Amino acid sequence: MTVREIFETMEYGPAPESAEAALAWLDAHGRRFAPAGAEVFETRNPATGDLLAEVAQGSAADVDAAVAAARAAFPAWAAMPGHRRARILYAMARLLQKHARTLAVLETLDTGKPIRESRDADLPLAARHFYYHAGMAQLMAEELPDRQAIGVCGQIIPWNFPLLMLAWKVAPALAMGNTVVLKPAEWTPLTALYFAQIAAEAGLPEGVLTILTGDGTTGAALAAHPGVDKVAFTGSTEVGRAIRRATAGQGKALTLELGGKSAFILAEDADLDSAIEGLVESIWFNGGQVCCAGSRLIVQEGIAGEVHDRLRARMATLRVGDPLDKSIDLGSLADPAHHARVAAMIAGTAGEVFAPPCVLPEGGAHMAPVLISGLEPADPLMQQEIFGPVLVSTTYRTPAEAVAIANATRYGLAASVWSESLGAALDMAAGLEAGVIWVNGANMFDAAAGFGGLRESGFGREGGWEGLRAYTRPKQEAPALAAGAPVAKPQAARAPDLDRTAKFRIGGKQARPDGGQSRAVWATDGRLLGHAGIGSRKDIRNAVEAARAARPGWEKAGGALRAQVLYFLAENLSARAGEFAAGLVAQTGAPAAEAAAEVEAALERLFTWAAWADKQDGAVKPVPGKVVAAMLHRPAGVIGMALPEAPVLLGLVSVLAPALATGNACVVLAAESAPLIAAEFGQVLDTSDVPGGVVNMISGDPAVLMPEMARHADLEAVWCFCGQDLSGPVEEGAAGNLKRSWCPRGMDWSRANAAEFLAAATETRTLWLPYGA
Ligand code: NAI
């Protein structure tokens, strides 16, 4: 017998990790985490069905008490010098490392994930998050001098990475001086409860972090609680949408990290050995119960047969079994109910199903790895998140087709591209609509690199400097936005000097309002200045269509060209400065000197944004290992915006110019109080080489039109500066396709507010480029 034959015929012996310490910890708590008499639920080991503990079902009163404790603890915690907070976060990181083995086992008992993963991925990454954010607490005063903590954060996390998701949420929140009420998922509350003990041991003051156990009703009560200033959620898109609706109009900050159906593009010139291992890692890590799992294989036609053959052979070697066994690849799914959900989803598929023969342990929620090939891109299994060990596969011919198939989903979380031609891989990567893209790699994460999605995968980033934005707010309260209303018809109306009807601008052309309605626009001195159209849903639809068509070209034009266009725009505005100043005097009643100063300020603001057009840098993140993790900025997309009512011209430029500078196309609702100024500005756009369709302008009632814009499925973002508080209907409407919404209550127009506008007008994407062996 050769050595090779010996290796091939050897059976795996069991290599179980001891559960003793974790079970002893549960026993020490009497296997119960609830006050006497409280309603409880059971948490079980999904691999065996064994009862692990009973845990309190948080009631509305418990939510009240937890939020009140967080409120009470907030002032002192936020005021504590960053260095002291840093020491506590550092202590938490150290304690996570010291308790790593027990925590890894506890995590595996509660989730069914292989101990190899909880030990080698979940725990080290969780500790790394606390180390990294200890540093952020340390640097906050110096590096973020204008920012402060938001207040009380309600954080709701899922069951696939219970401790790691806790770390992702808790570490940045505490670092920036917020207090936290965290609700773990009902299937997996144990490591969070253990962490409460670690936090106390690390010296975290009482009330700064409360672990509140319970199910979705507890989560819903927490998210909607009036004492919560910021909600951070990771979980399903459906619940994320429900939270967006439930918190609409409450003035809460919100970040959502939701589901995905991430593409794994495999080109025929890829290194197939590496790619197959990457694919195994991508889809069978944590049994596919990963929001960014590479669950959609899109393989180039010529190699599809070979890839499927190799994959089937590799799948046959994956070991499914006791999650505590150190040589197991797939443990149990997180709950029998989830097992049933996954099984039901794939039952009766039209695709070709392969699952290697394997003996599954009895009594658990185990599932063998599954490959379903031969599916059309539109098949429900190619579109819906399965969240289990199921890979679906389709083929492509050209790189452009691969990108089109990859983007043909409602999600936009992650993607992985495999090709030995770096140029081809990067070209595909550039076309992918995803917040995280790995080139010749998969599942790379680090606290220094932002993680988060686009589209219905949610908004906001976790990790890096960009992740901190969600946990801070400006120190200086901005002046409230001015509310505006059309100047009322004067009693002694005077004949117009020249009656003008301001048309809409759609797709670079003038357009009449679809409903044919318009209203008179009066000057403050009683003159009839003209008429402004009253827009409707149909006008918005036309404007969005035009913006969508113009968007790719405007992005592709690049920052340098956009800078030139904005300078040119300033030049053309300057040539008509007198006219605009006169318009402001007539429509707003401003004194002539003030109006002239506003035009001057608008010109300067245009220069600011022309300057920014080619200066919003990306960053290379200091992540461990041989990999470049690049943070890139891309335009948010098509933005619908209600312009500020005052200052009319400066406000218009301050809102529109950043969107243009960063490559977005816009649907603009003019200020109600002075719609003719926007219409005249439209003429300046015409003479300034802004391509038709990049700026589309309509006018009408914001209370009617902004909720319509918010509901429109083809807008990526909606901004509301009109001064009426429309955050309720706008945020509610935005829940439909989970677009980003921005309804600030105040803004200081004397400044460009560059950081805020740059963040709102762009999406960050993290591109991971591993190199070397
Ligand atoms: P889920 O989204 O219902 O649960 C996540 C968390 O939200 C849990 O803590 C839960 O108690 C809480 N929750 C539930 N309803 C709530 C509400 N109305 N308001 C506030 N909090 C609420 O996830 P579920 O139902 O367990 O899984 C369903 C599917 O969601 C999975 O099959 C998978 O497709 C997806 N999912 C995605 C995750 C991700 O990381 N993106 C994580 C978990 C699930």
* pLDDT for the residue numbered 608: 98
Is residue 363 classed exposed, middle or buried when 0-12, 13-18 and 19+ CB atoms within 10 A define those classes?
middle
Ligand 1 pocket, residue 111 CB under 6 Å: no
Q: How far does residue 72's CA lie from ligand 1's centre (Å)? A: 29
Please check whether residue 572 is in contact with residue 653, taking contact to mean a CB–CB distance below 8 angstroms. no
CA within 13 Å, CB half, 446: 21
Rounded Cα distance between 299 and 307, Å, is 8
Residue 243: CB within 6 Å of ligand 1?
yes
pLDDT at 524: 87
Nearest-atom index, ligand 1, CA of 243: 19
Query: Are 655 and 602 contacting, i.e. CB atoms less than 8 angstroms apart?
Result: no
Both tokens assigned to 613: 């057009």
The pLDDT of residue 9: 85
Atom of ligand 1 nearest to the CA of 388: 32
User: What is the per-residue DSSP string for 331-394?
Assistant: -B-S-HHHHHHHHHHHTT-SSEEE-----PPTTS-B---EEEES--TTSHHHHS---SSEEEEE
- CB 168 near ligand 1, within 6 Å: no
- Report pLDDT for 170: 98
With pLDDT > 90 as the criterion, what percentage of the chain qualifies?
94
The overall average pLDDT reported for the chain is: 96
The 10s digit of each residue's pLDDT in 633-678 is 999 999 999 999 999 999 999 999 999 999 999 999 999 999 999 9
Residue nearest to atom 27 of ligand 1 (CA): 236
**Ligand 1 proximity of 618 Cβ (cutoff 6 Å):** no
Minimal-distance CA residue to ligand 1 atom 35: 236
pLDDT tens digit sequence for 86-125: 999 999 999 999 999 999 999 999 999 999 999 999 999 9
pLDDT exceeds 90 at position 510: yes
Q: pLDDT at residue 417 above 90?
A: yes
SS3 label, residue 17: coil
State the burial class of residue 28 (Cβ atoms within 10 Å of its Cβ: 0-12, 13-18, 19+): exposed
The pair of structure tokens assigned to 366 is: 């185990």
Closest CA to 145 of 463, 476, 608: 476
With cut-offs at 50, 70 and 90, classify the pLDDT of residue 261.
very high
CB 240 near ligand 1, within 6 Å: no
Binding site membership of 165 for ligand 1 (Cβ less than 6 Å): no
Q: If you measure from the C-alpha of residue 240 to the centroid of ligand 1, how many angstroms do you get, rounded to a whole number?
A: 8
Catalytic residue among 17, 117, 257, 462: 257
Q: Does the C-beta of 216 come closer than 6 Å to ligand 1?
A: yes
Query: In ligand 1, which atom is closest to the CA atom of 259?
Result: 41
In whole angstroms, what separates CA 450 from the centre of its chain?
Answer: 10
Contacts of 25 (CB under 8 A, 6+ apart): 102, 106, 194
Q: Are 617 and 453 in contact (CB under 8 A)?
A: no
Residue matched to tokens 């290379």: 620
Query: What is the mean predicted confidence (pLDDT) over 130-138?
Result: 98
Across 454-469, b (16+ Cβ under 10 Å) vs e yields: bbbbbbbbbbbbbbbb
Is residue 257 part of the annotated active site? The answer reads: yes
Is the distance from the beta carbon of residue 156 to the nearest atom of ligand 1 less than 6 Å?
yes
Q: Which atom from ligand 1 is nearest to the alpha carbon of 260?
A: 41
Q: What is the pLDDT of residues 734-769, one digit of tens each?
A: 999 999 999 999 999 999 999 999 999 999 999 999
Q: How far apart are CA 110 and CA 102, in angstroms?
A: 12
* Residue 411, both tokens: 């999600």
pLDDT tens readout for residues 422-456: 999 999 999 999 999 999 999 999 999 999 999 99
Q: Enumerate helices (H) and strands (E) in the chain, giving the number of each.
A: 26, 31
Mutate to test the pocket of ligand 1, among 156, 165, 188, 244 (most ligand atoms within 8 A of CB): 156
Report CA-CA distances (Å) from 3 to 6, 10, 313. 5, 11, 21
* 424 pocket-lining for ligand 1 (C-beta < 6 Å): no
* Ligand 1, atom 6, residue with closest C-alpha: 158
Name the residue at shortest CA distance from atom 25 of ligand 1: 236
Ligand 1 centre distance from Cα of residue 220 (Å): 11
d(CA 90, CA 275): 37
CA-closest candidate to residue 47, choices 322, 265, 290:
322
Q: State in Å: Cα 760 to ligand 1 middle.
A: 27
Q: Is 671 left (phi over 0), alpha (psi -120 to 50) or beta?
A: beta
pLDDT band at 495 (very low <50, low <70, confident <90, very high): low
Position in ligand 1 atom list of the atom nearest CA 238: 2
Is residue 185 in contact with ligand 1, taking CB distance under 6 Å?
A: yes
Average pLDDT over residues 268-296: 98
**8 Å CB contact between 112 and 218:** no
Are the C-beta atoms of 65 and 152 separated by less than 8 Å? no
Cβ-contact 330, 318 below 8 angstroms: yes
Mean pLDDT in residue range 247-269? 98
> What's the alpha-carbon Rg for the chain, to the nearest Å?
28
Ligand 1 geometric centre to CA of 17 (Å): 29
CB 291 near ligand 1, within 6 Å: yes
Within 8 A by CB and 6+ apart from 24, the residues are none
The Cα 505–Cα 696 span in angstroms is 5
Best mutation site among 191, 222, 239, 335 for ligand 1 pocket (most ligand atoms within 8 Å of CB)? 239
Beta strands 762-770; 436-439: pairing state: parallel
Which atom of ligand 1 lies closest to the CA of 257?
A: 41
Report how far apart the first and last C-alpha atoms of the chain are (Å, whole number): 33
Atom of ligand 1 nearest to the CA of 239: 2
Question: What's the 258 CA to ligand 1 centre distance in angstroms?
Answer: 9
Contact 207, 73 (CB under 8 A): yes
Residue 496, pLDDT above cutoff 70? no
For position 356, what pLDDT does the model report?
A: 97
Supply the pLDDT for residue 497.
61
Q: Is the CB of 223 under 6 A from ligand 1?
A: yes
Indicate the range of 98-107, 324-333, 498-507, 684-693 predicted with least confidence: 498-507
Is residue 687 lining ligand 1, measured as CB closer than 6 Å? no
Cα(239) to ligand 1 centroid in Å equals 6
Residue (of 131, 410, 396, 122) closest to 266 by Cα position: 396
Whether the CB of 443 sits within 6 Å of ligand 1: no
> Which of 157-166, 368-377, 490-499 has the weakest average pLDDT?
490-499
pLDDT for residue 499 is more than 70: no
**Span from the CA of 635 to the centroid of ligand 1 (angstroms):** 29
Residue 605 DSSP class:
H
Q: Average pLDDT of 53-74?
A: 98
Q: Is the CB of 394 under 6 A from ligand 1?
A: no
Closest residue by Cα to atom 15, ligand 1, is: 216
Q: Quote the ipTM score.
A: 0.97
Contacts with 298 (C-beta within 8 Å, 6 or more apart), sequence order: 263, 264, 265, 266, 393, 394, 395, 396, 402, 405, 406
When pLDDT is cut at 50, 70 and 90, the band that residue 485 belongs to is: confident
Q: For residues 31 and 45, is the Cβ–Cβ distance under 8 A?
A: no
Report the pLDDT value the prediction gives residue 207, as an integer from 0 to 100: 98
Which mutation among 236, 291, 386 tests ligand 1's pocket best, with the greatest number of atoms within 8 A of CB?
Answer: 236
Does any ligand 1 atom lie closer than 6 A to the CB of residue 286? no
Residue environment code for 664-673, b if the CB has 16+ CB neighbours within 10 A, otherwise e: bbbbbbbbbb
- Give residue 489's pLDDT band: very low, low, confident or very high (50, 70, 90): confident
Residue with tokens 């993140």: 621
Q: In whole angstroms, give the CA distance from residue 649 to residue 651.
A: 5
User: Residues 344-355: what's their mean pLDDT?
Assistant: 96
- Burial bucket for residue 27 (CB in 10 Å: 0-12, 13-18, 19+): exposed
Q: What is the pLDDT of residue 493?
A: 66
Helix 162-175 to helix 190-201 angle, to the nearest 10 degrees? 40
